[in-house]
Amino acid sequence: MIRYDQNICTDFEKSKRLEWLETNGIGGFACSTVSTANTRRYHGLLTAATNPPLGRLILLSRFEETVRIDGTPHGITTSIYKDAVQPKGHSYLREFRLDPFPIWVYEIDGVELERRIFMVNGENTTVCRWKVLSKVAGHGTTVELELKPLVSFVSYHHLQNSSARINTIFESSEDSVAVQPLGDGPRLYFGHSRAEVQPTGHWYYSLEYPIERERGFDSSEDLFQPFALGFDLADEAVVIASTKPKKHASADAYEEAEIDRRNKLIEIADPKGPFKRRLVLAADQFIVDRGEGKTILAGYPWFSDWGRDTMIALPGLALSTNREGIAKNILLEFSNHISEGMIPNRFPDEGETPEYNTVDATLWYFEAIRAYVEKTKDFSFVKDSLYEALVEIIYWHRRGTRFGIKLDEDGLLKAGVPGWQLTWMDAKFGDEVFTPRIGKPVEIQALWYNALETMRLFAGEFGDDDGKHLYSEMASTAKKTFNRDFWFKDGGYLYDVIDGDQKDASIRPNQIFAVSLRNSMVSMYRAKRIVQTVEKELFTPLGLRSLAVGDPAYRGIYKGSPHERDSSYHQGTVWAWLMGAFVESLRRTYPKGRKFRQYELKIQRGFAEHLKENGVGQVSEIFDGDKPHEPRGCFAQAWSVAELLRVFD
């Protein structure tokens, strides 16, 4: 459980920064803030995945909620407008807790009221419940609740504006209301506990989202309010918002099933301590359905499933939580999308054609398969379902594939063409690529060698003697060239990119993978020098900086317009996911463990506090390079959670 007391809940500046998240396992989600104010366009009580895991539409943005105690109204939600914050429901909050899903407790004129929200796994369904917990004697003879749903019905990347296109008609029965604001859009059902339904048909104009304004985007939205629901809180009020008709009587069964499901996740993972327990629950929010298979959403609230992020996150999210079947399913699902020796970089939110503009996602695929086999010893799955595809991938990389990805004569992998960004340092604004890294990036060589050694292992296991000899020779050549060309002797670390005679000596974290990956090309002496450089120049308690502070290109704060943010994305910004490679490298270079244990305590303390400071119970994507390392980017990022689980398993 994560809990915030009255001091934090009623402090609007603090409570509007704390974001909660509920997910449904098929790509849909609900999220907002502890204050209940929506502060970004992605906030909503039901964002439905209409084509799981994508096609996401914000159907129900929020409820305007009013409690009437003996006839006196009290707004218990908070809304931000351009010139006002009204109502200020956060002022009644006594506590908020994640237990295991979001729960608010209000105290109003001697009446204690609880509000709770959760999603149903496998459905575009959000369950909302309100009930009176207690009353002070003589207070609250009658307690009533009025709910006014504000609907959006636009892509979760977009904002709604008042429009005559909106169908204002709703259909009401004894315990359900249905709306379909757009004729070609989905229907939204509100199963309710026999509320009084009153037509309204209003627009709420100029709701303001301050985070969007800070990010340099349009920040004002209009939302349609079709009807009002009235409840007598002598009994519990229940509303189930869903893309399918629902009965309010199902709420108890849904809640029990969801609690049981989450408890089972903990039981299966068997985490040691509350920090890892929380990470196990956080990990589950990223694992979703894709067709008949599984995939991993890179982050909330705006990322879809990316090949690179999925393969990096898979060992931590699935293997470290003892959900090997999900890992196997994901590996098999991505094998269905291999094209010209590449897995997709990402699946677009709109359209069915995957994008293949990545050099490292496919190489991380090898590492994910290697980790799966190490955990399960399931060589037969690789032999029967994946090995032929892996052989073809190596073939394409030797021959040459998209975006100039091709094995060079020296045994190293080169990649890149002008105007494209192929590594994880992929920031781009318009046609401007900020870290193109064309040529031979250091981590690509480390991943390539690791893939070759993994193939040598598989070929030996499967009796492919020719393949074993080929991969062994290729790995040997790559190792020799790498150690000759990439070691920067004067600095005692590895060059970041080599392109012909040009060698980039910028101190970046990419070199750490030459140490952390299971199959490493560097000697122990060089490995220690690399770790020492990264420790001195890049380490923070929340991840590694993407560029050393002393570099002229260093940018210590990530904020401003889209161009300002993109141009600083990999120029000093701290990335939480890199902590995994750093911790793994510490383990390998200091095997006696003393140094690792010192860092383990420091890192876990830092992230345990972070779980309560931004995305409640989640780990952010990035942080400012400068102290105090403010969290930025997505408030919930898959590989950030995954790498912590993996190395502190």
| Same domain membership, residue 339 and residue 238 | no
The arithmetic mean of pLDDT across residues 55-62, rounded, is 97
User: Both 251 and 289 in a single domain?
Assistant: no
Indicate whether 246 and 276 sit together in one domain.
no
Note the pLDDT tens digit of each residue in 206-253: 999 999 999 999 999 999 999 999 999 999 999 999 999 999 999 999
Q: Which amino acid is at 600?
A: E
Query: For residues 582 and 647, is the Cβ–Cβ distance under 8 A?
Result: no
State how far the Cα of 603 lies from the Cα of 645, in Å rounded to an integer.
12
Which residue's entry shows tokens 């250091």? 442
* Chosen domain end from 260, 295, 317: 260
| Residue 434: both structure tokens together | 């900020």
Residue appearing with tokens 């005559």: 164
In a shared domain, residues 252 and 285: no
Q: How much is the mean pLDDT over the chain?
A: 96
Q: What is the per-residue pLDDT across 637-647, written as a single tens digit (0 to 9) for each?
A: 999 999 999 99
Residue 431 lies in a domain: yes
Q: Let me know if residue 237 belongs to a domain.
A: yes
pLDDT of residue 634: 97
Pairing of strands 102-108, 220-232: unpaired
Do residue 250 and residue 325 come from a single domain?
Answer: no
Please choose, from the candidates 77, 78, 82, 143, the residue with its C-alpha nearest in 3D space to the C-alpha of residue 110: 143
Instruction: Kindly state whether residue 614 falls inside one of the protein's structural domains.
Output: yes
Indicate if 324 and 176 belong to the same structural domain: no
Q: Say which CATH number the domain at 293 has.
A: 1.50.10.10
Last residue of a domain, one of 260, 284, 300: 260
Q: Is residue 212 domain-shared with residue 137, that is, in the same domain? A: yes
Q: What is the pLDDT of residue 27?
A: 97
Residue 7 identity (one-letter amino acid): N
Do 254 and 275 share a domain, yes or no? no
Is residue 498 within 8 A of residue 504, CB to CB? The reply is: yes
Separation CA 336–CA 369 (nearest Å): 15
Closest CA to 143 of 94, 64, 229, 70: 70
In a domain, 388, yes or no: yes
> If you average pLDDT over residues 327-348, what whole number do you get?
94
- 275 — pLDDT class (breaks 50, 70, 90): very high
Cα-based distances in Å from 284 to 52, 108, 328, 543: 16, 36, 16, 22
254 and 290 in a common domain: no
pLDDT band at 100 (very low <50, low <70, confident <90, very high): very high
Provide the domain limits for residue 448. 270-647
Beta strand segments in 209-360, E: 220-232, 237-242, 287-290, 293-296, 299-300
CA atoms within 13 A on the CB side of 503: 13
3-state secondary structure 555-606: CCCCCCCHHHHHHHCCCCCEECCHHHHHHHHHHHHCCCCHHHHHHHHHHHHH
Nearest CA among 62, 180, 184, 186 for reference residue 124: 186
Instruction: Tell me: pLDDT of 108 over 70.
Output: yes
576 pLDDT above the threshold of 90:
yes
- Could you tell me if 534 and 641 lie in one domain? yes
Distance of CA 638 to the CA centre of its chain: 4
Q: Is residue 488 part of a domain?
A: yes
| Residue 265 included in any domain | no
Per-residue pLDDT of 494-506, as tens digits, reads 999 999 999 999 9
Domain stop point among 229, 260, 291? 260
Share of the chain above pLDDT 70, in %: 99
Q: Where are the beta strands (DSSP E) in 120-250?
A: 125-135, 143-155, 170-172, 176-179, 188-192, 196-208, 220-232, 237-242
Does residue 447 lie within any of the structural domains? yes
Is the distance from CB of 17 to CB of 27 less than 8 angstroms? no
- Which ranges in 462-504 belong to alpha helices (H)? 465-485
pLDDT for the residue 351: 61
The pLDDT, as a whole number, for residue 597 is 84
Residue with tokens 């140490």: 515
- Residues 225, 310 share a domain: no
Does any domain span residue 498?
A: yes
Statement to judge: residues 392 and 282 lie in one domain: yes
Q: How many domains does the chain have?
A: 2
Q: How confident is the model at residue 163 (pLDDT cuts 50, 70, 90)?
A: confident
